[in-house]
Amino acid sequence: MFGFVFIAALAALAFAGINFYGVKRMNQGTDRMIEISGAIREGADAFIRHEYGLIAKIAVLIALALGIVVSWYTGVAFILGAVMSGSAGWIGMKIATISNVRVSNKARETGSIGETLKVAFRGGSVMGLSVGGFSLFGLALIYLVFGQFFGQLGQEQLLIKANWLGITFIPFTMTVSGYALGCSVIAMFDRVGGGIFTKAADMGADLVGKTEAHIPEDDPRNPATIADNVGDNVGDVAGLGADLLESYVGALISSVVLASYMFYTNLTAASGSISYDLVSHLLVYPLIFAGIGTISCMAGIAFLLVKKISDHPHHELNLSTWISALLTLIGTGIFTWFYFSGQDITALGFRLGALSPWFAAVAGIVTGILIGQLAEHSTSFDFLPTKQISEASREGTALNITQGLAVGMKSVFFPVFVLAGAAICANAIAGLYGVAMAAIGMLSFVISTVSVDTYGPIADNAGGISEMSKLDPSVRIITDQLDAVGNTTAAIGKGFAIGSAGLAALSLFASFLYAQAMPNDTDGFTLNLNFINTMTLAGGLVGAALPFLFSGILIEAVAKAARKMVQEVRRQFREIPGILTGEAKPDYTTCITISSAGALAEMKLPALISVLTPLAGGFILGADFVGGMLIGTTLSAIMLALFTANSGGAWDNAKKYIEQGHHGGKGSDAHSASVVGDTVGDPLKDTVGPSLDILIKIMAVISLITVSVFQDYNLVTWISSLIK
């Protein structure tokens, strides 16, 4: 079975390689196009190099701490996760900065939307396939090396063991948790760093270039325009890829950890014990499920790349995604039936027979689609909520902001309602393991969703290059059409990331409670979290407040970097008088440096908060406090993530609706108000929202890894023992 997973992962990476070089071989166009895309590429490369250099130092420190306090294999797995996540982000960013100019040139050479879409999607698929391939390859390596070679998947190792500090855990759960944590920490840095970079540049370019100097979007006379395009690559591509890779791995490992603890805590149960054979199936099942999803997505991507493409990009991208999803459903359904047939599954709470985990996964897929559709309803100008924001803009900025807040807040309820329904449904079908499978199901065709999501920023960048290179307006019309589709798909992708985080967090939380089991807890273990307990309630309160602190720090970080950018762009217009007449060239490099320095300086604190808060809470106030804190953080972070993503998206599209010639169109007072709304929403939707789902999982995994330490060693217990 591992062979299949390896083959699927390597096939995905090989396909990514083929598409990478396929795109790279294409013509880059005119000298001007090459010059501009070169500047974007150099800026993105320089930022990623600095960012990864900083992350590497922090990652080594965390790995060492894990290696010493928990186990050496947790530390090694952490590094492996970090390398896999970093590799996917780096390759995605590379291909995005290679594809952008070729997309622009394809539009220039062919004048065909379909042919241009193919290049953008081929570039996006490299990111998608890298996310799927690297995450699965790393996990397969973990299974092979630690599970098989070091025997952690053996019956005698699936037990709670104590390390040299007396800390107890099941070894394999610590290994996969370390791997997931490595992915999560990289994702946090990529998302936060990229988010700060891109929004600082974007706001600087808009607030001075567009609003004060009246320069149109992507005009080469704007000093921040290259930094803005660099930001699309480091934030919307590398950040997004690392984010969804982390979500994917988080969902996969949550089921593995859960199954391990369910097995151990029922070892000697008089009734309903889980056999080793069954738990072996449960441990490998998610990987094969993901492998089938990988192969299915490759088929969906290949289908789009070989077929004759129409001039309807939304339809073509949807078709590719639906093919991937359908093949995944069929393939995993058949596999599940054969895999669990004949197994005694009563102890797991599988209520729909052998297909129970598959049905739970289907519930997850349906939930993901519903959340995505609800996100589209809240953020697309084809629907009333966003149109209402556009309309309110006619009465001024304050009402644009007020209406956007209302839309964002209202948009939280139904996705959460759907998510709650999915959790109940998945649990009813296949118990807590079913909840984990629902998260996996939601992300089972992540390769396709990331491919489509990455295509958007590539098309956006291609539009910028076309504009700056003074290509024929017809080229810009093509890239604008492709970009518009990308905006919708991005909102749907965020829905999947947030939804899966909610479900994965629930199963990780169950694992957190299971991980408090003692070596003698083999005769059933009651998952118990008492919210009447003052510690738990206090933890819940603090946890619920944490995402607000985290979001505030992120917004402040963007504002600080954006202010510096605004000052720099103003300085350049003031001190280099020939910029607007085209007689002098702006200093693009300084703007890139400002965004880069701002991101690198500001990204450490939010990332450290996510890692250190559960540790501080646990070592001071104990496991009950952390349990409450995880629930509090998960609940408020999901609400806040949906609110920020949807309100920001709605403000953005409300502005676009006006820019299409509604409510006075460009230059109207309504437009001015909508520009302010969009600027307010920018850091919400592109920095805060996407970081919150990572916050949830980092805290859950850190707590899971360390709970066995701080449930015994914490300040409150120590003081209590002194008093006694």
Partner 1 sequence: MSEMHYYLTLFPTESLIASMLDPDKFGAYMTTSSKRGSHERLVFIELDGGFSGDFDWNYAKERCVPHRNGEPKHSVYLSVYRVLEKIPFSALRTMYLTTPDGRTLGLEKSAFPADRPGKPYHVYQELCPVQPLVVSSLAPGAFGEYIVNGESKISLPALCYCDLKVIDLDDLEHTGHIGPMYDHNLGHLIECIAAVTERGKVTKTLDRTFAGNFRFQIVNDGFALVNKKEKAWYAMPSEEELTSKYYDWSRSAMII
Tell me which residues touch partner 1 (CB under 8 A).
212-216, 219, 221, 391, 394, 470, 473, 573-574, 577, 580-581, 661-670
Q: 238-272: string of b/e by CB count within 10 Å (b at 16+)?
A: bbbbbbbbbbbbbbbbbbbbbbbbbbbbbbeeeee
Decide whether 91 or 478 has the Cβ nearer to partner 1.
478
Work out how close the CB of 594 gets to partner 1 at its nearest, in angstroms, rounded to a whole number. 22
* Dist CA 566 CA 227 (whole Å): 12
**Smaller CB separation from partner 1, 552 or 667:** 667
In the complex, the smallest distance separating the C-beta of residue 29 from partner 1, rounded to whole angstroms, is 18
Q: Which of residues 3 and 667 has its CB atom nearest to partner 1 in the complex?
A: 667
Minimum gap (Å) between residue 241 Cβ and partner 1: 32
Q: Are the C-beta atoms of 608 and 699 separated by less than 8 Å?
A: no
What token pair was written down for 164? 């040299």
Report the residue number, 122 or 394, with the smaller CB distance to partner 1. 394
Asked if 81 and 180 count as a contact pair (C-beta separation under 8 A), the reply is yes
Q: How far is the CB of 570 from partner 1 (least distance, A)?
A: 9
What amino acid is encoded at 288 in this protein? I
Distance, CA of 27 to CA of 636 (rounded, Å):
48
Q: Which residues contact 103 (CB under 8 A, 6 or more apart)?
A: 116, 119, 120, 123, 458, 459, 461, 462, 479, 482
Nearer to partner 1, 35 or 212 (CB): 212
| Smallest distance, partner 1 to C-beta of residue 309, A | 26
Cβ closer to partner 1: 581 or 721? 581
CA of 510: how far to CAs of 7, 258, 417, 526, 703, in Å? Answer: 32, 7, 20, 11, 12
SS3 letters for 665-702? Answer: CCCCHHHHHHHHHHHHHHHHHHHHHHHHHHHHHHHHHH
**Looking at 114-234, which runs of residues are DSSP E strands?**
161-162, 168-169
Write down the least CB distance from residue 411 to partner 1, Å: 22
Where do the H-state alpha helices sit in 443-516?
446-468, 473-514
For the chain, the distance separating the N- and C-terminal CA atoms, rounded to the nearest angstrom, is 55
Q: Which CB, 166 or 473, lies closer to partner 1?
A: 473
Considering beta carbons, is residue 391 or 521 the nearer one to partner 1?
Answer: 391
Which of the 8 DSSP states describes residue 271? S
Residue at token pair 């996100």: 375
Tokens at 72, concatenated: 């050496």
3: which 2 tokens? 């062979």
User: Three-state DSSP class for 169?
Assistant: strand
- The amino acid occupying position 513 is L
Min dist CB 573 to partner 1, Å, is 8
Q: How far apart are CA 686 and CA 462, in angstroms?
A: 20
Smallest gap from residue 215 Cβ to partner 1 (A): 5
Nearer to partner 1, 281 or 394 (CB): 394
Q: How far is the CB of 664 from partner 1 (least distance, A)?
A: 5
Taking residue 648's Cβ as centre, other Cβ atoms within 10 Å add up to 27
Q: Which of 44, 171, 115, 147 is nearest to 475 (CA)?
A: 115
Nearest to 669 by CA among 395, 405, 398, 401: 395
Shortest distance, CB of residue 542 to partner 1, whole angstroms? 47
In 3-state terms the chain splits into helix, strand, coil percentages (rounded to 5) of 80, 0, 15
Could you tell me the smallest distance in angstroms from the CB atom of residue 668 to partner 1? 5
- CB of 387 vs partner 1, minimal distance in Å: 8
Other beta carbons within 10 Å of 702: 25
Nearer to partner 1, 316 or 391 (CB): 391
Instruction: Specify the residue, 325 or 407, whose C-beta has the smaller distance to partner 1.
Output: 407
Closer CB to partner 1, 212 or 277, in the complex: 212
